[in-house]
Structure 1
Amino acid sequence: MVPRQHPPQPNQRAHSTNSTKRSTRSYSSSFEADDERSSSADHESMGPGLGYRDEPSQYEGEDTRLTSRKELMGWYAMGFSAEVFAICGLGSFIPITLEQLARENGVLKDDPTMPCGSSSHIPGGLPKSANDQGACVIHLLGMQINTASFAMYTFSLSVLFQAVLVVSISCAADHGNYRKRLLLFFAFAGATATMLFLAVVPQVYLLGALLAMVSNTCFGATFVLLNSFLPLLVRHHPKAQYTSPEATPELGFTALREDPPEGLLNPPEEENTIEPTLDHLSSSSDSTPPNPSKNLTSIELQLSTQISSTGIGVGYSAGLFLQCVCIVVVYMMRSSTLSLRLALFLVGAWWFVFTFPAALWLRPRPGPPLLSTDSHDPKSSRSWFAYFTYAWISLWRTAKLARRLKDIVLFLAAWFLLSDAIATVSGTAVLYAKTTLNMQPAALGLINVIATTAGVIGAFSWAAVSRALGLRPHQTIMACICLFEIIPLYGLLAYIPCVKNWGVIGLQQPWEMYPLGFVYGLVLGGLSSYCRSLYGELIPPGSEAAFYALYAITDKGSSIFGPAIVGAIVDHTGSIRPAFWFLAVLVGLPAPILYFVDVDRGREEGIKLAEVIEGRRAEESGTTTPQEARALLASDDEDEGYRERRHRA
């Protein structure tokens, strides 16, 4: 969705598409900071002169210098370093390492005197061996836990900690000079925790679970903070500062024209741009057919698309390369537990080493100070407590606003289930392949390579299919869900007696994992872009920061439940296959909810709510009387009541 506003005047600097709207900062401290500058010594700018904008600073400590090539390279380097953890660590080696460490401390469920050993040493990966061996369990805190459930519970806890941390640091990323410090702290901490897997022997397998939770939590915080730099890179880019858009609603094209820095109009009162908004704009531009009557291409859209796409490509390239290296290492070491720990050490070392270019080249870009902090004692505990409480209060205020928007509530409910399904299917499939099909770790790594490659293909192919068939975003999402449903339903085919006796279909052979991995990647490539695109259409104009914060916490918080429920099913039944029933329901539930989402209605309600928010802000700033603000609110309530009466009629 491109925000609905008039383009800048020809002789005016091109500002962010959101910068002409009043900020929603009083309602939300977003996960992605949106107005910070720096005082770095790097003068290598892509713009004219010394790389400084000739606009006055809007607050003390603001850095108005233009984005430099070196700063962009630092941003790319951070993605290049951290993305490998998602692809190689979370995607394959951490789940199977945790399961294998637990297995080497476990006993057979049917015979507690018989140790399980390592499932990866079974030659040939024959599925019958796993069935003959029986379920493997460990005893922890007086409970009997399946070794596959152990990995799922660990992931659920790490996601819980990650969600709490992301909300808590969001305000510190938006305000003050903490963004880069926090980014480097969590990056180095996560990389170190990943490297320490090399020291985790089976006797201290619980240390492996702790390291997995620490590394995953730090990874989530790292990417939230990294994403917060994107709107700043775009806003201060020379093309955004010294060029003007020349486009009409009838033309899906923006021409760039150089304008001199002299004679520029005053900057807007407050800028508010966040990476998810830009990311959404880029996905909308690339993935959906243009709607000339509602969208207007902007310079910032083109820049964010280019920078974000390059960053994604760099990160995925690094992940695929290191994944292939790790597969070779694991294969040459005969899939031993040491080989898995060594692969994770390589992942952590890659993350650690390539964080240094980001540390050297990224500018801090400090934001405005938080008004509630003590400026005379910034290191006091009161200061950090103010950041913490402001972040959670802001999230609560945004949630209360969202309740007034029926279609956003419906979408977030569907997204909560869908995001949980995406994370749970991935982890369950990896553990099923290892424990039931007895696939070697190298073969499991190959599944991840196929899924990642298919995801890149899906990001482009779904856009082409959507344009060719004239599908709207919610229709494309429904198509992705239908294709996604094939994965758990295919696993349930083995419950049919004739199929089970045949021994081929229904995930009874290891090779069946590879085509399903391709399907998973293909679906993920479409869902990741179109869900954000649809949600963006429903957001009240000017409130992108606040509502994308809600989107992010819904995404991160949902993955707490699915893995835990799968773990409980496995503990109760002793097998992973029964969990496919739950996955089939989890994947299918979002479809009927999305069916009731009306984009046009949601857009109208969003615009009306934006007027109410502006009225409140105007009242706070003294530009509107309380009576006028209440009139806006009453008008909104009357319109809502009229719509309800008309709907009942």
Structure 2
Amino acid sequence: MAYDDAARTARYEGEDVSKTTERELKGWYFTGLAAEIFAVCGVGSFAPVTLEQLARESGVLKSDGVTPCVQAVSNNSEKLARLLVRAADEGSDAGACVVHPFGRETSTASFAMYTFSAAVFVQALTLVSFSPFADYGTYRKRFLMTFAFTGAGACMAFLLIWPQIYLLGALLTVVGVVSLGSTFVMLNSFLPLLAANHPSANDLDVVDSDDGGKSGASNQGTSAELKLSTQISSKGVGLGYAAAVSVQILSILLLVLLKKLSFARESTPLRCVLLMVGVFWATLTVPGALWLKNRPGPPLRLFSSGGDGRSRRTPVVFQYVVFAWKTLWDTIKTALKLRNCWVYLIAWFLLSDAVATVSGTAIMFARTELQMGTIAVALLSITATVSGIAGAFIWPKISKRLNLPTRSTIIACMLGLEIIPLYGLLGFLPAVKSLGWGGLQQAWEIYPLGVVHGFVMGGISTYCRSFYGEMIPPGSEAAFYALFAMVDKGSSAVGPAIVGLIVDRIGTIRPAFIFLLILIALPIPLVYIVDIGKGRADAAALSRHLSGRAGASVSMDNYRSSQEQGTEAAEGLLRDDYDR
């Protein structure tokens, strides 16, 4: 489809303001769904299981430190006997399996957990060191493709890992997780640009504000860009979930077929599944490499102000590192000047922690309290993901039908998430306990809750990133989305750690539902007080002011004239803080 020349004026020399095409959107969708496949089928399912199995096949029994956890068997009857012994010893010191990475005794069950914790830490460092460059030159697309193909290659490379080098499997997992998180940051940084340059950006009506009759900047509750980015985000989430479910089903079928071949090692079928997942990630990223435009930012000039020659003698790598960390610090300082932005980041910290904790607690509860097996848990994952597809497409329709602002839709999703801990707490009531079901006393009860979880997550995934995108100063998309991702990852270990402490002290998981109930509720008032119109105007004012200070001519034509009064007021408030 051909479009007319862009109506929007370039904000800096070399900016690509050409209209967003259907081909470009498809490239963005393909790249996102390819990464989502690894997120669900790799990180969320088979990668931790494969790591644990590789460690087990290399480990020894804790009881004597000599006997291998997994021994070769000569026939099916011997294999069955060993499986029965392993099941009988499960959870006891005699049956505990340990490895000694770097000379430290570690249970194989904990090995994957430590690996993913390390991956999150390295991911945070990577986001700081690379993401700021995506706002300059053509780094945005180059980094996106580099991280995507690197992650896919790491996933496929699991086929070459055998038990004796299980630590390399941990390294590949770190590379995959880091690449996955960085890929999503780069993808998110494209979202505001795709919306701002979309042909229909100026044709959409603007709904009433979140704040009723407020005037000025606050009177624009949902801009055309926010409506478009929400629509694009919704479709992207839905397609990603659909692709992930399809590959998850294929993975289970492949695993069942390979196990019938009776491989000597149980990790072999799992590694073959990861090979398939990596192939899908790499193959489906190709359309993005071909169809996404570069959408370059302004040119990057490092230490250009140095007049004594010292900057020229500074190693380029060091200059990049200093620039990246300085950019993070500047991004944090900028976000702190944008009140609605930092309030929302705090809310996102709490919300993402709640989401991660609910997911982890549900899996733990299913395996320990409800005694659900691997296949049953895999089906629960598929149930939640299918429901997430429905949520990604249905929430925008609900929002439109009820004329809900984006803020109200996010709050509605959080209230829906409260259903899960509330239902779990019913198990404390004597009347419910006497029934023998209700309050998660039976395994089948967790599947309807999986539907609820997936449905609200479809809405949260759709709206939260596009809502945040409205409060980002134009031209700083990658840096601010990197901060968004760091807040997300930084919170992911807090809630699960507290749940672990609760379980250690009390001995059962059910009391953790009280903590979940409170944790989900905490971000609701913070999201409620976010004024998206004021946040958008503040970001626009700051972008104009900083660009003007640098001698650049910046056009904010994509912001409606009714915002000008609020923008000027915000600029006046910020001027004293940013003038040298």
Shift of 1:326: 0.7
Shift of 1:329: 1.4
In the alignment, what sits opposite 2:173? 212
Shift of 1:348: 0.5
In the alignment, what sits opposite 1:319? 244
SS in 1 for 2:2: coil
Decide whether the 8 Å contact of 1:104 with 1:115 is kept in 2.
yes
In the alignment, what sits opposite 2:44? 91
Decide whether the 8 Å contact of 2:195 with 2:229 is kept in 1.
yes
* Deviation readout 1:181-205 (Å, 9 max, x if unpaired): 3222222211111112223333433
Name the CA distance, whole Å, in 1 between partners of 2:467 and 2:18. 34
Name the CA distance, whole Å, in 2 between partners of 1:54 and 1:593. 36
Going from structure 1 to structure 2, the CA distance change for 1:160 and 1:593 (only over 3 Å counts) comes to same
Name the CA distance, whole Å, in 1 between partners of 2:502 and 2:167. 22
Going from structure 1 to structure 2, the CA distance change for 1:566 and 1:556 (only over 3 Å counts) comes to same
Name the CA distance, whole Å, in 2 between partners of 1:450 and 1:392. 41
Decide whether the 8 Å contact of 1:81 with 1:350 is kept in 2.
yes
In the alignment, what sits opposite 1:134? 92
Going from structure 1 to structure 2, the CA distance change for 1:464 and 1:179 (only over 3 Å counts) comes to closer
The one-letter code of the counterpart of 2:13 is Y
Going from structure 1 to structure 2, the CA distance change for 1:407 and 1:148 (only over 3 Å counts) comes to farther
SS in 2 for 1:159: helix
Larger mean CA deviation between 341-350 and 79-88 belongs to 79-88
Going from structure 1 to structure 2, the CA distance change for 1:581 and 1:163 (only over 3 Å counts) comes to farther
Decide whether the 8 Å contact of 2:151 with 2:175 is kept in 1.
yes
- List alignment gaps of at least 5 residues for structure 1: 1-44, 253-280, 285-290, 624-630, 638-649
In the alignment, what sits opposite 2:3? 47
Alignment of 1:64-463 (within 5 A): 67=20, 70-105=23-58, 133-134=91-92, 136-140=96-100, 141=102, 143-234=104-195, 239=199, 245=202, 294-295=220-221, 298=224, 304=229, 307-334=232-259, 336-372=266-302, 382-404=315-337, 408-430=341-363, 433=366, 439-462=372-395
Shift of 1:452: 0.8
SS in 2 for 1:138: strand
Name the CA distance, whole Å, in 1 between partners of 2:569 and 2:456. 43
Shift of 1:325: 0.7
The one-letter code of the counterpart of 1:134 is S
The one-letter code of the counterpart of 1:83 is E
Shift of 1:328: 1.0
Name the CA distance, whole Å, in 2 between partners of 1:209 and 1:159. 13
Identity value in percent: 44
Name the CA distance, whole Å, in 2 between partners of 1:115 and 1:501. 45
Decide whether the 8 Å contact of 1:95 with 1:430 is kept in 2.
no
- List alignment gaps of at least 5 residues for structure 2: 72-78, 211-216, 261-265, 306-310, 554-567, 575-580
Going from structure 1 to structure 2, the CA distance change for 1:487 and 1:568 (only over 3 Å counts) comes to same
Shift of 1:449: 1.4
User: How many residues are aligned here?
Assistant: 533
Alignment of 1:504-543 (within 5 A): 510-532=443-465, 535=468, 539=471
* Deviation readout 1:30-71 (Å, 9 max, x if unpaired): xxxxxxxxxxxxxxx7236xx8999899536x5566555544
SS in 1 for 2:298: coil
Going from structure 1 to structure 2, the CA distance change for 1:339 and 1:514 (only over 3 Å counts) comes to farther
The one-letter code of the counterpart of 2:36 is E
Name the CA distance, whole Å, in 2 between partners of 1:612 and 1:46. 34
Decide whether the 8 Å contact of 2:347 with 2:527 is kept in 1.
no
In the alignment, what sits opposite 1:277? none
Larger mean CA deviation between 220-229 and 156-165 belongs to 220-229
In the alignment, what sits opposite 1:59? 13
Shift of 1:218: 0.7
Name the CA distance, whole Å, in 2 between partners of 1:200 and 1:500. 48
Shift of 1:451: 0.7
Alignment of 1:555-574 (within 5 A): 555-562=488-495
SS in 1 for 2:220: coil
Name the CA distance, whole Å, in 1 between partners of 2:474 and 2:296. 22
Name the CA distance, whole Å, in 2 between partners of 1:494 and 1:117. 39
Going from structure 1 to structure 2, the CA distance change for 1:325 and 1:246 (only over 3 Å counts) comes to closer
Going from structure 1 to structure 2, the CA distance change for 1:406 and 1:555 (only over 3 Å counts) comes to same
Shift of 1:173: 1.4
Going from structure 1 to structure 2, the CA distance change for 1:400 and 1:481 (only over 3 Å counts) comes to same
Name the CA distance, whole Å, in 2 between partners of 1:496 and 1:110. 41
Shift of 1:450: 0.8
Decide whether the 8 Å contact of 1:162 with 1:220 is kept in 2.
yes
In the alignment, what sits opposite 1:21? none
Name the CA distance, whole Å, in 2 between partners of 1:56 and 1:76. 25
| Root-mean-square deviation over aligned CA pairs | 5.0
Going from structure 1 to structure 2, the CA distance change for 1:225 and 1:131 (only over 3 Å counts) comes to same
SS in 2 for 1:354: helix
Shift of 1:419: 0.8
The one-letter code of the counterpart of 1:211 is L
SS in 1 for 2:98: strand
Shift of 1:163: 2.1
Shift of 1:464: 5.8
The one-letter code of the counterpart of 1:194 is C
Name the CA distance, whole Å, in 2 between partners of 1:311 and 1:612. 30
Shift of 1:514: 2.5
Of 502, 512, 519 in structure 2, the residue corresponding to residue 589 of structure 1 is: 519
The one-letter code of the counterpart of 1:185 is T
Name whichever structure is richer in helix by fraction: 2
Going from structure 1 to structure 2, the CA distance change for 1:122 and 1:101 (only over 3 Å counts) comes to farther
Going from structure 1 to structure 2, the CA distance change for 1:618 and 1:580 (only over 3 Å counts) comes to farther
Going from structure 1 to structure 2, the CA distance change for 1:470 and 1:562 (only over 3 Å counts) comes to same
* Deviation readout 1:554-603 (Å, 9 max, x if unpaired): 12322244456667888x68x9x746655752562352453256537786
Going from structure 1 to structure 2, the CA distance change for 1:188 and 1:435 (only over 3 Å counts) comes to farther
Decide whether the 8 Å contact of 2:345 with 2:484 is kept in 1.
yes
Name the CA distance, whole Å, in 1 between partners of 2:405 and 2:295. 38
* Deviation readout 1:450-508 (Å, 9 max, x if unpaired): 11111122334555666777876666555544543454566677789999999866666
Shift of 1:114: 7.4
* Deviation readout 1:510-552 (Å, 9 max, x if unpaired): 5444333223212312333454466567x48769846555333
Going from structure 1 to structure 2, the CA distance change for 1:56 and 1:210 (only over 3 Å counts) comes to closer
Decide whether the 8 Å contact of 1:63 with 1:365 is kept in 2.
yes
The one-letter code of the counterpart of 1:456 is I
Decide whether the 8 Å contact of 1:330 with 1:343 is kept in 2.
yes
Q: TM-score, normalised by structure 1?
A: 0.66
Going from structure 1 to structure 2, the CA distance change for 1:479 and 1:634 (only over 3 Å counts) comes to closer
Q: TM-score, normalised by structure 2?
A: 0.73
Name the CA distance, whole Å, in 2 between partners of 1:133 and 1:99. 15
SS in 1 for 2:172: helix
Going from structure 1 to structure 2, the CA distance change for 1:197 and 1:549 (only over 3 Å counts) comes to closer
Name the CA distance, whole Å, in 1 between partners of 2:18 and 2:398. 42
Decide whether the 8 Å contact of 1:175 with 1:369 is kept in 2.
yes
